[in-house]
Structure 1
Amino acid sequence: MEKRLKQSLGIDVSKLNLSLSLGFLTDTLAKEFLSHEDVSNDVSGYKMLLKWLKKSVDSSVDFLIVMEATGVYHQGIAHYLHDKGYAVSVMQSGRVKRYAQSLDQRSKTDALDSRMLSMLGLERNIRLWQPPSEELQQLKGLSRERSSLLKDRTVETNRQGAISCSVHSNSKALKRHNNRLKLLKAQIAIIEEEMQELVSKSEELERKIGFLTSIPGISFKSAAGVVGETLGFESIVNAKQLTSYAGYDVVLRESGNFKGKTRISKRGNSHIRAALHMPSMTCVRCNPTLKVFYNRLKPKKAKPLVALVAVQRKLLILMYTLWKNEEVYDAKFETKKQQKHEALAAQDNKLIAQLVS
């Protein structure tokens, strides 16, 4: 009988159902799969899944559960299985899509997707998922609610301006728009107060957000928005992954005589890009590091916006670095870094000269 080396359960998550595929990797590197009928995406379905796992999984072999991040619909099953002691990995959709493309799988069904996720768990070393703190999840929800209300406020402001400038303006309609604007502004103020209160209750969160707000041009609301969207950079392991997650990764398309232009992919979290737009405009005026960077880059680009997007990308990486290293922003960091490199180069040149002589 072939020995099993690894086990992996792939779960394709939808709003109502979970599609399941349990895979085994044998010592001959062959893959075997067991399927189960779909279960509901609620507690009763979770219990049915748990009962099946206890019958089918070998407790002496490494076991991993793999699922794709699907908005909020994966959170229930991910938290449930993690609380039961299982190793869970929640994959970003972009990485799963690239793996699926490598399989040359033409059809797409829930059953095939769950099997593909199971194969991914068998073949790759995947970073395990840890539930984010309740504070960070609440901060993310508040930040998104605030962003939605800001968009509504802009719409209402534009409508109010159009009505007031109209030849046949309606005073009653204008009054209703004013009331809606007052309500939106009041709700935005309440949300911002709740964000401040939430952060102040966590000493660690307040301290680490303080590192980000030490950057000239970054306000508390901008810092809280980025931290909430990344859940405290919990699943980020390096700057390259972060820029890809936010859609700031640069792509270039060329084929034969066709020469495309470089641009950001925008295949990432649009809320992060929106949160950094206004701070980047402030940074190019008051931030000593990013102002120099922007002024150096701007003449080389066809549009100033391209240089501004580059500032946003650099700003995001700077925020990530300060958060991970738990450091306050140092305006002279680049100068010190350059001086250090020059000193090391001088030492190398001196050593080479001594060896030659």
Structure 2
Amino acid sequence: MKPHVLKQALGIDVAKDSLSLCLGTLTQDLEKQFVAGGDVANDPKGFQRMEKWLAKLEVHKEKLVVVMEATGVYHEALALYLHQKGYAVSVMQSGRVKRYAQSLSQRSKTDALDSRMLAMLGCERKLTPWSPPDGTLRHLKALSRERSFLLKEKNVEKNRLHAIEASAYGNPREVKRQAKRLKLVEAQLQEIEGEMKGLVAQDKALAGKIQCLESIPGVSFISAATVVGETCGFSEITSAKQLASYAGYDVVLKESGAFRGDTKISKKGNSHIRSILHMPSMTAVRVNPTLRQFYTRLKPNKAKPIVALVAVQRKLLLLMYSLFKRNEYYDPLFEIKKQQGPKPLLHRIEAI
């Protein structure tokens, strides 16, 4: 008699061209069994081969969770395919997977071992289900990343043009070609920013929420749209602490015995968010009274001014999250009202 199956997890180690499979089964006596499925291609034909293998093992969708690690863009097609087929899919962040793997004292690292580890993780933990991001937000994220890449390219081309012009052996034709390349990058940047504005304008609800973020002094449309796109409208964010960790603003401290390390942010998160918030934070400490006061209070206590500025970035990000979720405009007197607290009941009755 076969033991009753409580749960099954399909661990998939995703690579650019291949998928390594391992099916884990948790039985009623809390024993875990694993069946390696080998490798299949990371394409539609490989997805179909994987489904045939699962059918051969008589796997039931209602008891199965598919676990994979977020690997750039190479997991997206597979996750979308399985979600459309009705499978429960969980896409894990690399940091969580790494910490779980370290807890197993697994010294070797192969695709087969990684897929087995993911299957074990799925059997042991209750994971958050994945769902495809909104099409508009996914497009907005792609545009913001293309813009980020072109900004870096613009700086490279600008520095190269300056070096050519300053050279004692400069060639006028080379200068002309380099100037054309720089103008092309600048034109493409304007084109992308126009596409971002047009895309947001098509969704009235999204446009209204981004206007709420723009009401924060120092936050521009591009900054707001980039943060919203990178977080897919904060769809998977459930708390301020989680958002800070996602963006790499979570504070870490290393201490051991007599050793006392410096307190700093982890930077193990979305670098695009931290990059886009740098200029708004510099503007905010000049034009936003609340954040200017916050920055002025922190700056004397920090060894470097940039540390206080990073704290402003974190506060700015959490403020954007709060306004987006509540669909509210920025209130410059919010902190003052919060400190004063609610008015006494007698005063409110007299006012009425």
Deviations 1:239-293 (A, max 9, x none): 1111111111111112222211111111111111111111111111111221111
Q: Which residue identity is paired with 2:238? A: V
* CA distances 1:164-221 after superposition (whole Å, capped 9, x unpaired): 2333333222212211111111110001111111111112221221221111111110
Alpha-carbon distance between aligned partners in 1 of 2:301 and 2:343, rounded to the nearest angstrom: 27
Instruction: Report the counterpart of residue 295 of structure 1 in structure 2.
Output: 296
Aligned pairs for 1:257-336 within 5 A: 257-336=258-337
What is the letter of the counterpart of residue 191 of structure 1?
I
Q: What does the per-residue CA deviation read over 1:94-152, in whole Å, with 9 as the maximum and x for residues that have no partner?
A: 01111111111111111111111111111111110010011111111111111111111
Q: 1:159 and 1:93 mapped to 2: Cα distance? A: 36
2:171 maps to 1:176: no
Residue number in structure 2 paired with 1:100: 101
Letter in 2 for 1:80: Y
Partner of 2:348: none
Cα distance, 1:159 vs structure 2: 2.0
Q: TM-score, normalised by structure 2?
A: 0.94
Q: Residues 178 and 61 from structure 1, CA distance in 2 versus in 1: closer, same or farther, beyond 3 angstroms? A: closer
**Partner in structure 2 of residue 355 of structure 1:** none
1:203 and 2:214 matched: no
Counterpart position of 2:13 = 12
Render the CA deviation track for 1:293-339: whole Å, top value 9, x for unaligned.
Answer: 11111111111111001111111111111112222111111111111
Q: Separation in 1 of the partners of 2:175 and 2:194?
A: 29
**Secondary structure, counterpart of 2:341 in structure 1:** helix
SS in 1 for 2:34: strand
| Residue 172 of structure 2 is aligned to residue 142 of structure 1 | no
- Aligned residue for 1:153, secondary structure, equals helix
* 2:190 aligned residue: 189
**How far 1:62 moved relative to its partner?**
2.3
Whole-Å Cα distance in 2 between the matches of residues 227 and 10 of structure 1?
30
| Partner in structure 1 of residue 57 of structure 2 | 56
- Is the 2:213–2:324 Cα contact (8 Å) retained in structure 1? yes
Work out the CA distance in 2 between the residues paired with 1:168 and 1:40.
53
Structure 1 residue 343, shift from structure 2 partner: 6.5
Counterparts of 2:247 and 2:41, CA distance in 1: 32
After TM superposition, list the pairs within 5 Å mapping 1:123-142 onto structure 2.
Answer: 123-142=124-143
Length-normalised TM-score, structure 1: 0.93
Q: Secondary structure at the match of 2:199?
A: helix
Look up the equivalent residue of 1:265 and give its one-letter code.
S
C-alpha distance in structure 2 between counterparts of 1:186 and 1:246, whole Å: 30
RMSD: 1.6
Opposite residue 74 of structure 1, the aligned amino acid is H
Report if the CA contact (8 A) 1:3-1:27 is conserved: yes
Output the CA distance in 2 between the equivalents of 1:336 and 1:236.
Answer: 27
> For the structure 1 residues 343 and 123, does the alpha-carbon distance in structure 2 shift closer, same or farther, using more than 3 Å as the test?
farther
Contact 1:7 1:61 (8 Å CA) reproduced: no
Q: What letter matches 2:339 in structure 1? A: Q
* Letter aligned with residue 289 of structure 1: T
Inter-partner Cα distance in structure 2 for 1:37 and 1:214:
53
**Alpha-carbon offset, residue 61 of structure 1:** 5.4
Q: How many Å apart are 1:162 and its aligned residue?
A: 2.5
Summarize the Cα distance change of 1:102–1:244 in structure 2 as closer, same or farther, 3 Å threshold: same
Report the CA distance shift for 1:60/1:194 in structure 2 as closer, same or farther (over 3 A).
closer
> Is this contact kept in 1: 2:216–2:330, CA < 8 A?
yes
For each residue in 1:23-58, what CA deviation from the matched residue of structure 2 results, as whole angstroms up to 9, or x when unmatched?
111111110111212110000001111122223244
Between the aligned partners of 1:90 and 1:243, the Cα distance in structure 2 is: 19
Match of 2:241 in 1: 240
Contact 2:22/2:38 (CA < 8 Å) preserved in 1? no
8 Å contact from structure 1 (residues 214, 328) kept in 2: yes
Q: Give the percent of matched residue pairs that are identical in Structure 1 and Structure 2.
A: 62
1:40-119 → structure 2 map (5 Å cutoff): 40-59=41-60, 62-119=63-120
For these two proteins, the number of residue pairs brought into alignment is 344
C-alpha distance in 2 between matches for 1:284 and 1:57: 61
Alignment-derived partner of residue 121 in structure 1: 122
CA distance in 2, matches of 1:60, 1:42: 21
Q: In the alignment, what sits opposite 2:168?
A: 167
Residue 219 (structure 2) aligns with: 218
Q: Is the 8 A contact 2:64 2:88 kept in 1?
A: yes
Inter-CA distance 341–93: structure 2 relative to 1 (3 Å threshold): farther
